[in-house]
Structure 1
Amino acid sequence: MRAKARLIIVGCGHPYGGDDAAGLEVVRRLQEEGLPPGVEAVACGTAGLGILDFLYEAERGILVDAMVADLPPGSVLRLTEADLPEGARRLSAHDVTVREALAWGRRVGVPMPQELVIIGIVAKELGLWRETLSPEVAAGVEQALALIRQEIERFLQKTGQVP
């Protein structure tokens, strides 16, 4: 594991999974825009335990992923680790829930962010081996980007950096 940025944004998803690629699209767009020093956006692929490698030693983390919820497709949710459902089979389309991965990392002593935010974009179509997002989720990506930009600004202000 390597030391990471002070604020790490981890986009999860599968590039051929239809709306499951929402987190990857968010990261791609952030990388194109450019990020301030100390802020990094990375594509993780499917979440699971692999997210721990990306969160290693970061002060703050933001996970962004497609999610399944009883809400309209494209809805964007801002959750904290405490908000993640306990005992849920899945928050996303991956085998290990985000909550399970984070709990395991803390249990074995992985240096994790003190603050972690999860941005979920409610999917319409998962696992269809498509390279495009549904129109609803594409609109949700725009909302997620705006929310993440606010989180970046809040982090920079909190640490005394000028946004």
Structure 2
Amino acid sequence: MSAPFKRGGAAVGRLADLDPIEAGAVMYLRMWSEGEGGRADAASDFQLTLGADCGRAAMLTLDRLCSLCAAHGRRPLIRHGLGCACLGADENCFAQMIAAASEGAREDAMMLASLIVRPDFAPALASLSEELGLTLRRMTAGFKMPTTGHQTPSAVLH
């Protein structure tokens, strides 16, 4: 294992333990990172849940947010696989940033954003996090968002 994987990829929990906003943030980060197929699936989710116009706007927000992380990150975000039940350290930071921003905790979102991207890009990332977080809040109102296709026993991390 390389040093960046240890630093950002270490399992710190399970997706099933996250609230729907946090789990959604991680799953859409993973989908976006899978490439065109994953991005098409994310866009489809947004459009089915929010309608065509709002769905396109949500996908644009996700694309801008993830592109900002990729282009101006302090280092590459380490992610677990799309079907993995684990939650990595970087994924947790990302999820907490989105959740904080969706709750109006802008200072917390800025602090977390500064851990992910260079400080001069943290305000933009926090703003995009708020947009995505509010979208996920609308999408998940009244139902729990799926996290993975399988369950693991609570005592098992991997």
Fold similarity call, TM over 0.5 = no
Give the strand-richer structure, 1 or 2: 1
TM-score by length of 2: 0.28
TM-score by length of 1: 0.28
Give the helix-richer structure, 1 or 2: 2
